[in-house]
Amino acid sequence: MTMALPQLQSLLLGYPCGKNTCATTVACLLPISVHCPKLQSLNIHFNTTTIVDDLKNISEDPQFQELPSLQKCTLWRLDIREMPLTFDEPNFKAVALGMVDIFPNLERCQGWDDFNWELAEVQSFRG
C-alpha cells in the first residue's frame, strides 16, 4: 500500500489500542517510513509485547535488507496513545535506537511519556 501511495502525508491505520492483541509488529513501520517520504502524521497500533526482539529482527529479515539504508520520512511524532509499554526501563535505549532508525526525526511517541526522555537522549547523541 505504501509503495502505491508515496505522496501520503497523513496515515490513520487504526487507533492505538491498549489491549496489545494486534498481530502487527513494529517492523511494519520501516516500509511506511521508506515508501512515504512526505509522511508527517501517523496513527497506528502494533503489538508491543515483543518490541525489543522485533526491532532487533528487522536487520535480520531478508524482506527488509535494503530498507534500513534508504531515506526515510520526516515524521517527528508518532501517535501511539493507548499502546502499553511492555518492556522495562533497561530496554528503553534499545527501543529508542530502533525507533530512531525507522523514523530519524522522531522526537515524541505520544502516550509513552516515560519513554520520551530516552528518545530525546538518543536524538541528542545522534545530532
Domains in the chain: boundaries: 10-126
Q: Say how many Å lie between the first and final Cα of the chain, rounded.
A: 32
What is the model's pLDDT at position 39? 95
CA 96 from chain centre, in angstroms, equals 9
d(CA 36, CA 72): 8
Query: Which of these, 102, 82, 105, lies nearest to 32 by C-alpha position?
Result: 102
pLDDT in tens, 57-109: 888 888 777 877 788 999 999 988 878 887 777 889 999 999 999 999 999 99
Q: Enter the pTM of the model.
A: 0.89
Share of the chain above pLDDT 70, in %: 98
- pLDDT, mean of residues 47-58: 90
What is the model's pLDDT at position 127? 62
